[in-house]
Amino acid sequence: MAQQPLMPKATAVWLIEKTSLTFEQVADFVGMHPLEVQAIADGEVAQGIIGYDPVLNGQLTREEIARCEADSSARLNMLHSALPGPKARKGARYTPVSKRNDRPDGIAWLLRNHPQLTELQVAKLLGTTKDTIAKVRDRTHWNSANIKPRDPVILGLVTQSDLNAALAAAGERAPSGGAPVAGPPPVADTPEETAA
């Protein structure tokens, strides 16, 4: 059963006390093992737990209980709630602390290898800010001396499917006059190389 009732043990206590359902029927409904339900009935488990009425709380109907009491092979079907389920949280992408220092390397790699991506796309992909992207691009990041462009997929900062989706979206936004830029931009000489 995919959906379980609220407070399964308390619901099992109520069903055992108030109905003549089999242990298997109760166990199937609340998502427990039949032996655990039998232990609740014997008073070995869930002592002191007050029963939770699934009929009063809109999870079952009396007719559904009566139907299953009449047929021991029938299974209880939970009522679907009219209340909306929990919404998916939208917000900044969480990056574990151990990978946060790799983020500028991923930014540098994306800027070098996929210049068609906008700052907003890079920020969403890597869970960073436009300010950080600008600092990596301008080499004014506090750790710019140690930044080495590395693939953010390999670093575990983004999935390959997310990166492919962002690249496809960037390709659709390309100017109608030509194809999107595919190659990396020319690499600027570092001060050490020009001095030589």
- DSSP 8-state assignment for residue 78: P
Q: How many angstroms separate the Cα of 177 from the Cα of each of 90, 167, 173, 183?
A: 36, 18, 11, 17
184 has a pLDDT exceeding 60: no
- Show contacts of 172-179: CB within 8 Å, 24+ apart: 174/116
141 has a pLDDT exceeding 90: yes
For the segment 92-134, what is each residue's pLDDT rounded down to a tens digit? 677 788 888 899 999 999 999 999 999 999 999 998 999 999 9
Q: Where are the beta strands (DSSP E) in the chain?
A: none
Provide the whole-model pTM. Answer: 0.46
Q: Is the four-CA dihedral 143, 146, 152, 153 of positive or negative sign? A: negative
Hey, how many other C-beta atoms are within 10 angstroms of the C-beta on 170? 17
For the segment 37-77, what is each residue's pLDDT rounded down to a tens digit? 999 989 888 788 888 899 988 888 999 999 999 998 999 88
Alpha-carbon Rg for the chain in angstroms: 29
Alpha-carbon torsion angle 62, 60, 53, 33, nearest 10: 110
79 has a pLDDT exceeding 90: no
pLDDT band at 82 (very low <50, low <70, confident <90, very high): low
- 91 or 144, which is more confident: 144
